[in-house]
Amino acid sequence: MRTVRRILTRLFALALILASSLWATTLALEPDGVGEAYAPDPDEHPGAVIQVYGADVWGFRGNFAIHTWLAVKPENAAGYDIFQVIGWRLRRGRPVVSVDSGDPARSWFGSPAILLHERRGAEAQQMVERIYRAVEDYPFAESYKMWPGPNSNSFTAWIGLEVPELGLQLPAKALGKNWMTRNYTELKN
């Protein structure tokens, strides 16, 4: 009986250590937003807006990974264009790059959006055309791999590399961003 109690005590201690480690890792990986996840109303804000959002991926993986997307509203535009990569589109015979419109600050399958990066006004307007071109030129529109990439975060990293003046720095939880960074030079040569 003593041996069983000792084994159970050790298993409990191990489980406690693992749970604490998971909790600490999750907190360490949590991205810092740059403000409220809010897209300015185009009627009230006629200037250009570029925003990058992220949200935890579905399920347990959300402790370690986020999905990222980009929203662009050119000067005097009536709304936002939302650009992202969605892997399951490939299974339906469609390109993974999704171009949509609407509220870019909406949640991602139940996970609230986090505003990761933003540019507004004349500075943003100067980058709009290059962002649209980068979306069109994305070299992996027919490819998706959850790990290590190309994935949604590889796509967002691509935009940042193609438009360096955007100054985009994705958080550690944006798994796949480094895949693009490592492969970018090869793609451009």
Residues 78 and 58 in one domain: yes
Cα–Cα separations (whole angstroms), residue 66 to 47, 54, 171 = 29, 6, 9
Residues 132 and 159 in one domain: yes
Residue with the bigger pLDDT between 128 and 186: it is 128
Residue 67: pLDDT above 60?
A: yes
Strands 66-73 and 49-56: antiparallel
The candidate with the shortest Cα–Cα distance to 82, out of 51, 59, 55, 109, is 51
67-79 average pLDDT score: 98
- Domain of 22, in residue numbers: 1-30
Count of domains forming the chain? 2
Mean confidence (pLDDT) of the chain: 88
Residues 11 and 83 in one domain: no
pLDDT per position as a tens digit, 12-21: 666 666 655 5
Residues 19 and 37 in one domain: no
Residues 51 and 109 in one domain: yes
Residue 27: pLDDT above 60?
A: no
All residues at 6 or more sequence positions from 177 whose CB lies less than 8 Å from its CB, including other chains: 153, 154, 156, 157, 170
DSSP lists the bridge partners of residue 98 as 84
Percent pLDDT > 70 in the chain is 85
Percent pLDDT > 90 in the chain is 66
Neighbours of 82 (CB within 10 A): 20
